[in-house]
Structure 1
Amino acid sequence: MPAVDTVLLPLCVGLFLLGVIATGVAWRRHNKGRVIQGVALALAPIALFFSGLLRLVWNGAVAVINWAGAVIFSPAVWFGLSLLGLCIVLWVVGGLVSRRGAGGSKAEPGKAVTAGGLQTPKASATRAVAKTGPAKGRQPAPIDEEMAEIEALLKSRGIE
């Protein structure tokens, strides 16, 4: 019998016995649903042992522990983990920059983009305001900038 089985088999038998005890307590309380669940949980460790899945989990845990022990003493692994962290940070920053750049690169309706990237009001928009102007005797309604942006977006999509 390999060394892994000498550890896992007694552990599974112990968990099985705890499950049987819990099932006995549920039986005495006449809780049939809990009895069925107790039998299922009592049999689970034995089933995992005989199917080989428990050994797979054991080997995975041992591999992770060995890797963690190697990380502590290996400068090459620390360098690799540092590079991995740098990759993640650069990926996140690149996503933020591209999202911010995509939103700012589109010209707003009613504005023209100059060679330097600055946005200025289009001449036609300023002429239209100058021609119509406010009616005499009436004061223009205060313009909310956010509402003006929303209205411009709706008009650009053909919604009025």
Structure 2
Amino acid sequence: MTNMKAQTTKTMEIPEEEKRLEKQLCFAVYATAHAFTRAYKPILDRVGLTYPQYLVMLVLWERSALPVKTIGEQLDLDSGTLSPLLKRLEQSGLIKRIRDLRDERQVIVSLTPKGEAMKGEVDTIMTAIGKAAGCTIEEMAEMRDMLHRLRANLGRAGEG
């Protein structure tokens, strides 16, 4: 495998075959993200969540109550995207939003008892996705770690 990092000062010579769409890492990640969303849909429909709502719930199941800003940072969502998600979750009775008494500029999101009870669905959801993906837990962990590293590298490259 060619080390692309060492090649940053000059243009790499890339074989024509590697320029094809199906050979692009970015397209493989993009298409896989869409496939994940499609695979999650019927599973999450059963519990009344969309995929982005599920991600918000995962964050809250880990920490119980967080400022909106922190949730947005963890999920890499801006407030224009996150606010409608939170509104729908609140209308469903899964979360509540209250102003922070110490800093009224901040809104704290917390789980309701109904939202907390839904945490029991995580094992079912993860098992179903694992089966759909056809991967072992170890393989999924390895891919996840590689994707985290890729995302961090791309984040640094985008800053400079």
Verify same fold: TM over 0.5: no
- If each structure's helix is expressed as a fraction of its own residues, which one has the higher value? 1
TM-score of the two chains, using structure 1 as the length reference: 0.23
- If each structure's strand is expressed as a fraction of its own residues, which one has the higher value? 2
TM-score of the two chains, using structure 2 as the length reference: 0.23
Which structure would you say has the larger RCO, counting Cα contacts within 8 Å and 6 or more residues apart? 2
